[in-house]
Amino acid sequence: MKLAILSSPFKRSHQSTRAVMAQVALACIPGVIAQYYYFGIGHLIQIALCIITAWITEGIVVALRKRPVLAILSDNSAFVTAVLLGLSLPGYAPWWVSILGTLFAILLAKHIYGGLGQNIFNPAMAAYVFLLISFPVAMTGWLLPQDLLGNPFTNWDGISLIFTGFTSDGFSLHQMATSADAITQATPLDALRTGLTVGRSAAQVVTSPLFGDFAGIGWGAINGAFLVGGLFLLWRRVIRWHIPLAFIATMLVLSAIGHAYAPERIASPLIELFSGATMFGAFFILTDPVTASTTNKGRLIYASLVGALVFLIRHFGGYPDGVAFGVLIANMCVPLIDHLTQPRVYGYKGKSSHE
């Protein structure tokens, strides 16, 4: 008999990276379906473009590094990065936006650090911020939910809009986004920020047809769909509860306090939680196992920090939503958070007070 000497910890996961990533992609399906139902084929095309670009780019990089191409591609990490980025992009952004963003995510946010497990920033969010800063017009061109469009909109119109910039009838994205009466902004958070800028109160803005009777036509259902997908990940123990709960709780508390003290500027907590990328961020972005904190206390601190940053950016920053910025800023703090929240080694008593 041979005695194997191993280092702690001894807790073993029965799920491979490939299985974990596959389940994350599977959990995105409810959100993808909801996006398709309310906004059409756009996100499906963006996701497809991101996946193809991610596979090709990662394959080339891995081959140049003389590592097994198929083995690394089959871990599904590039696939999930592509799916998350495709879901984050405006559905009818130009085709080159998704390709350029995916190149940035795989090359500069992942492999420049050494590949999976070495990157310090969430690749999908790093790419999103790069695109948002570099191409703000393309990255803020969200289409209205199909129920609010004044012109008929087919899947072919969506394909034509992405690859040519115009629908089959010659309408641009801007024309489609402003085709409905009394609606000038494509997303609830955009409408809220614009309304406040021109002197309207939050209560007046939410009477717009864009908001409907929930947190925004389409957006409330999409956030609900990602919530369902997130609960699936919790049930499968792919993610832990600390990050989603801390993030959502922080957003809820801050928005409740803000709405109580400044209702003319800050909308209800329901809108804060079910508009924009709140649920998508809580369960799919913040929980990235590589760039998030690794201790239980650290996860709570990390997610609370992101929640506070998102709230501040939404209401005092220059962008209507701040999930991507909040995540990247918190990513930089993760090494310090982990260092300060490491649990004490079993049996260690520390130095006595007189030493």
Nearest to 121 by CA among 134, 135, 107: 107
First-last CA distance in the chain: 45
> Residue 136: which pLDDT band, with cuts at 50, 70 and 90?
very high
The C-alpha atoms of residue 76 and residue 146 are separated, in whole angstroms, by 33
The C-alpha atoms of residue 62 and residue 119 are separated, in whole angstroms, by 15
The C-alpha atoms of residue 288 and residue 291 are separated, in whole angstroms, by 6
Q: Which residues contact 300 (CB under 8 A, 6 or more apart)?
A: 242, 243, 246
Residue 9 has pLDDT above 50, yes or no: no
Q: Residue 13: what pLDDT?
A: 53
| Long-range interactions of 11-20: CB distance < 8 A, separation 24+ | 15/238, 17/75, 17/76, 17/77, 17/116, 18/74, 18/75, 18/76, 20/238, 20/289
The C-alpha atoms of residue 292 and residue 302 are separated, in whole angstroms, by 7
CA distances in angstroms from 242 to 10, 299, 314, 344, listed in the order given: 22, 6, 23, 20
Q: Residue 347: what pLDDT?
A: 59
Q: Contact, 162 vs 92, CB < 8 A?
A: yes
Q: Residue 119: what pLDDT?
A: 92
Burial class (CB in 10 A: 0-12, 13-18, 19+), 21: buried
pTM of the model: 0.89
The C-alpha atoms of residue 315 and residue 3 are separated, in whole angstroms, by 60
Q: Which structure tokens are listed for 347?
A: 């049996």
Burial class (CB in 10 A: 0-12, 13-18, 19+), 242: buried
Looking at every residue in the chain, the average pLDDT score rounds to: 87
Mean per-residue pLDDT, 212-216: 73
Nearest to 224 by CA among 21, 34, 88, 5: 34
Q: Which residues pair with 166 in a beta bridge?
A: 172
The separation between CA 340 and the C-alpha centre of its own chain, rounded to angstroms, equals 27
Which of 10-19, 23-32, 228-237, 290-299 has the least mean pLDDT? 10-19
Backbone phi and psi for residue 293, each to the nearest 5 degrees, phi listed first: -65, 155
Q: Which structure tokens are listed for 29?
A: 């399906």
Q: Contact, 93 vs 162, CB < 8 A?
A: yes
Burial class (CB in 10 A: 0-12, 13-18, 19+), 17: middle
Q: Residue 31: what pLDDT?
A: 96
| pLDDT tens, residue by residue, 291-325 | 999 999 999 999 999 999 999 999 888 888 889 99
| pLDDT tens, residue by residue, 252-274 | 999 999 999 988 888 889 888 99
Q: Contact, 102 vs 79, CB < 8 A?
A: no
Mark residue 296 as left, alpha or beta (left: phi above 0; alpha: psi -120 to 50; beta: remaining): alpha
Q: Which structure tokens are listed for 192?
A: 């809220």
Q: Residue 2: what pLDDT?
A: 54
| Cis peptide, bond prior to residue 9, ω within 30 of zero | yes
The separation between CA 24 and the C-alpha centre of its own chain, rounded to angstroms, equals 13
Residue type, 247: F
Q: Contact, 226 vs 284, CB < 8 A?
A: yes
Number of C-alpha atoms within 13 angstroms, CB side, residue 231?
Answer: 8
